[in-house]
A = this chain, B = another copy of it.
Amino acid sequence: MTGQNSAPVLAADIGGTKILTAILSSRGRMLAKDVCSTLADEGVSSVIERLCASIDNLLNGNDFKPSNLAGIGIACAGAIDAARGVITTSPNLPEWSDVPLAGLLAERYGVDTYLVNDASAAALGEHRFGAGQGLRNLVMLTLGTGIGGGIIIDGELYLGASGSAAEMGHMIIDVNGPECPCGSKGCLEVFASGKAVARDAAMRIRQGEKSSLVDMVQGRLEEITAGKVGAAARSGDALAIDVLSRAAYYLGIGLVNLVNIFNPEMIIIGGGMAEQAEFLIEPARQVVTAGAFPISAQAVRIVPAKLGNEAGVYGAAAYAFDRTKRRS
């Protein structure tokens, strides 16, 4: 069966600031969507209530019943126990610990519900409906506040033994480097995440370097973000350009490792930092050409993501479709 006439799924991506909910056809057409605030600090049950209100809103507003759905797919940052449908821990949802969200939604809506890590979902979304369509294997890096990853092998999402594979942000590339919140030193995330870019820019300004960023944030250096560094770089700010260039170099080192390990057809760069792709991808590609094995460096295309911040919800939908097909 090709799934062309199969029922749609409901998918949601629970982010740190907002929850995106959508109904998607099996061919990846977004039939309807809804956005609400996460407000994680209001507590677990409050977030779940808002998620359900958003789902109800979507279903009612578009004349869907839960029984019309092939399944529900939920993407969420953090350690997901996919087999049990439990959010073990999540950086976006600090109070959440072993929350059996899949079971709660399955019971409420009477529909099979599947949980998947958001970065893995983004990779699956880009593979099915975005930059990586039709490829056998690819690696995606999601450069946001932190760095997440997703791996597609032989056309399928690879999740590992306990669903926690693809933590490429915590690949150690400088064993004597700065400490990472994960406990290791010199992880890729310390050098090439949005947080790292913002921190580096603020630190260098505090050390006396000049930058148009100071005016941009009216002197409040803690308000510098990777997006603002990108904007400053586009307006020619030398410090901002240099900070992004350094991040691109380390990103390139991480990509050398991924190219040597996976010999992938494609590496997709997504997440908020992908908005700075013009300063990141070409320099990182040059590091790959110089440092990776030639046969693998030649085989890989390094491209920005296509689905933007909707990759996770597309991927959650694809994941639910895959799982429901496997059951049928």
Question: Of residues 245 to 281 in A, which have CB atoms within 8 Å of B's CB atoms?
Answer: 250, 253, 256-257, 260-265
Does A167 make an interface contact (CB < 8 A)?
A: yes
| A261, chain B: closest CB distance, angstroms | 6
Q: Mark A175-209, 1 if CB is under 8 A from B, else 0.
A: 11100001110100000000000000000000000
Q: Mark A149-183, 1 if CB is under 8 A from B, else 0.
A: 10101101011111111111011111111000011
Does A296 make an interface contact (CB < 8 A)?
A: yes
This protein's copies in its complex: 2
Q: Mark A284-313, 1 if CB is under 8 A from B, else 0.
A: 000000110101101110000000000000
| A118, chain B: closest CB distance, angstroms | 16
Assembly CA distance A80 to B173 (angstroms): 27
A160 touches B88 (CB 8 A): no
| A28, chain B: closest CB distance, angstroms | 24
Question: Given A154-B153, A160-B137, does the pair A257, B171 have CB atoms closer than 8 Å?
Answer: yes
Name the contact of A175 in the complex, choosing from B154, B164, B250 (C-beta under 8 A).
B250
B161 touches A260 (CB 8 A): no
Q: Which residues of B contact A256 (CB under 8 A)?
A: 172, 184
Assembly CA distance A50 to B137 (angstroms): 38
Name the contact of A162 in the complex, choosing from B88, B156, B175, B299 (C-beta under 8 A).
B299
Does A79 make an interface contact (CB < 8 A)?
A: yes
Tell me how many residues of A have a C-beta within 8 Å of chain B. Answer: 50
Closest B residue by C-beta to A191? B175
Known: A161-B263, A165-B296. 15 other contacts (CB 8 A): A88-B295, A154-B156, A160-B262, A160-B296, A167-B261, A168-B260, A170-B260, A171-B260, A173-B175, A174-B174, A174-B175, A175-B177, A175-B250, A176-B176, A184-B291
Name the contact of A172 in the complex, choosing from B79, B161, B262, B291 (C-beta under 8 A).
B291
B153 touches A158 (CB 8 A): yes
A265 touches B295 (CB 8 A): no
Assembly CA distance A153 to B164 (angstroms): 15
Name the contact of A263 in the complex, choosing from B165, B174, B176, B290 (C-beta under 8 A).
B165
B176 touches A174 (CB 8 A): yes
